[in-house]
Structure 1
Amino acid sequence: MTTDPTAARGRAYVDRYAHLMNKVPEITVYFWLIKVLCTTVGQTFADYLDRTLGLGLTLTTIVIGAAFLVALTLQLRARHYVPWIYWLTVALVSVFGTLITDNLTAGYGVPTSVTTPVFAVLLAITFAAWWKAERTLSIHTIRTPRREAFYWVGVLFTFALGTAGGDLLSEQMGLGHLATVTVFAAAIAVVAVAHYGLRLGAVVSFWLAYVLTRPLGASIGDYVSQARHAGGLGLGTATSVIFLGTILSLVVFLTVTRSDVTADDEYDTESFLAEAEAEAHTCHH
């Protein structure tokens, strides 16, 4: 019995990249809930380190940046989607993205009216490069190192952009935290209607919602944590504790139930085989 050399070569490609399947969770209500909570923590925890503990923006950025790199290394080395590693990385990139914007605004005096379009352009460039290299922006196909690299660069810019956009409305334009929450919640509702009612593409809908949940979560965090005289509820640092506890509970739940993991029988082996061979061909040249 002879072995088809093409099939054997294809199987070798699959074996080579199999450890990179399912690096991103399924998009469920749990995904969006934890995402918003992570963005809220990103805002409140950055403020806690910077102002309450008095570390300052520079030292806070260094500490969080180092922690983010450690978490990202764990995520990149993981052989599949692991809830606690993935969401730890998201939480830390949320804080780090917030600090990038805060450093530009508070440290260098760059107004959010400038940083918002700049980060929007950087995100667009990331998506354009990702599309040119991979011909897809779908998070259901984060199966190779290059795609995962594009994914995390894109995620970082969404957090920086969301922070800048949220601060632009709430602070520079003077809308206040609660009004900003309403604006971005309405924007997300528009995206949902466009997707489910007008058949806006799933990939476009996802990334629009992903960007918009950042300023939504940050504005919620500011509203809940800020003092009453500043227009908030005055919970202070308790906000981070409450939301971190909720995130931890949800991550434990997902780890046990695997509710956000794609079943093996839903996996399109033929598509992956074609993608893996194309990836290997590209790397070879």
Structure 2
Amino acid sequence: MTPTPTTSGRRVDLRSLLNKVPEVTLYFWVIKILCTTVGETAADYLNDTLGFGLTNTSWVMSGLLAVALALQLRARRYVAPLYWVSVVLISVVGTLITDNLTDNLGVSLWVSTGVFTLALVATFAGWYRSERTLSIHTITSTRREAWYWLTILFTFALGTAAGDLLAEKLALGYLLSVGVFAVAIAAITVAHLRFRLGAVLAFWLAYILTRPLGASIGDLMSQPRSDGGLGLGTTGTSAIFLTCIAGLVAYLTITRRDVIELGSGRSNSGPEHDPEHGPADDRDDDLDDGVLVG
């Protein structure tokens, strides 16, 4: 393969010119919330309904996640089914990490929430120190992608702990918890669009909050009516959301509406990128108008 020169004189292969993650569109957020819901209900289904137990479920899902991420990291470009399978699996593993701390090790949700908050802050700091950007529009190298997936793992673990803390320990209930997190995400959106909250900060705040939102939706739909849920069970809820995810991912695979093609200087669903600034450019302003909905 012929290397492609960049404006800085460095030479990179074609892989570094292709963003490895999807464009941030409405489809992105819908599928993300669906994945987080599946993460909550699938973990409960494997652990409780099938009787795998928390430890066995954790080992199995961690192994599947390792395989999925290995394939994702080796891929030359963004592939919708592979990317979203990885998100579903990492949502399950993130849930199981929190569940193991709470159920097996007796760590309180207050402590788990604090620990994962610090872990996430440390990950962001390490990512920025290494790459000088937190922009998801420049996931164009294996190192940046590794930071990206580590960050996502901690967002799922933190979201699970924070969601359980509000719904159970603070006795808000599932429906009210859904409302609280939905309002919080709406507030972030307004702050970004109307009050110029930074694009990267707005994205990651919303990303974190979609985890407890999805988990609360999953609990609301799957838990018995006597506990404040709709009584659909973990099997029914997981099946509904997995079907929706599969349909949306198939649509995006066919239409390529969420593909970012940095090498050509254009995004299929977003504004044009300046070809004078290659993917190694660390500017974050390309996110300003499309971080929440591209």
TM-score between both structures, scaled by the size of structure 2: 0.88
Return the match for 1:72 from 65, 69, 73. Answer: 69
Distance in 1, matches of 2:7 and 2:275, equals: 15
In structure 1, the residue matched to 2:265 is 265
**Equivalences for residues 34-183 of structure 1 within 5 A:** 34-183=31-180
Is the CA contact 1:112–1:164 (under 8 Å) kept in the aligned structure 2?
Answer: yes
**Structure 2: runs of 5 or more not aligned:** 267-272, 283-294
Query: How far apart are 1:21 and its partner, in Å?
Result: 1.7
State the shift of 1:269 in Å: 3.9
Contact 1:126 1:150 in 2 (8 A): yes
Confirm or deny that 1:243 pairs with 2:241.
Answer: yes
Q: Which runs of 5+ in 1 are unaligned?
A: 1-6, 277-285
CA drift of 1:8 comes to 8.4
**Aligned AA (1:127):** F
Query: How many Å apart are 1:10 and its aligned residue?
Result: 5.9
For 1:153-172, what per-residue CA distance to the aligned partner results, in whole angstroms no more than 9, with x for missing partners? 00000000000000000011
2:256 partner letter: R
User: Normalised by the size of structure 1, how large is the TM-score?
Assistant: 0.91
Pairwise CA distance, 1:173:
1.1
CA RMSD of aligned residues (A): 1.8
CA displacement, residues 12-49 of structure 1 (integer Å, 9 cap, x when unaligned): 6232x635621010000000000000000000000000
For 1:144-223, what aligned pairs fall within 5 Å after superposition?
A: 144-223=141-220
Q: How many angstroms does 1:230 deviate by?
A: 0.9
Tell me the secondary structure at the aligned position of residue 207 of structure 2.
Answer: helix
Write the distance in 1 (CA, Å) between the matches of 2:223 and 2:144. 38
Q: Letter of the aligned partner of 1:244 in structure 2?
A: L
Higher share of residues assigned helix = 1
Identity of aligned residues (%): 59
Q: Alpha carbons of 1:23 and 1:235: their partners in 2 closer, same or farther (altered >3 Å)?
A: same
Distance in 2 (CA, whole Å) between partners of 1:63 and 1:37 is 22
- For 2:72 and 2:275, how far apart are their aligned partners in 1? 23
CA distance in 1 between counterparts of 2:165 and 2:208 reads 15
For the residues of structure 2 that align with 1:258 and 1:148, how far apart are their CA atoms? 20
Aligned partner of 2:202: which letter? Answer: S
Residue of structure 2 equivalent to 1:255: 253
What is residue 283 of structure 1 aligned with on the other side? none
Counterpart-to-counterpart distance in 1, 2:203 and 2:280: 25
Give the Å deviation of 1:272: 2.5
- In our comparison, the structure showing a higher alpha carbon Rg is 1
Confirm or deny: 8 A CA contact 1:68 1:92 kept in the other structure: yes
- Offset, 1:148: 0.5
Q: CA deviation at 1:11?
A: 6.9
User: Is 1:13 aligned to residue 14 of structure 2?
Assistant: no
Q: How far apart, CA to CA, are the structure 2 residues paired with 1:13 and 1:146? A: 17
Compared CA separation, residues 142 and 8, structure 1 to 2 (3 A): closer
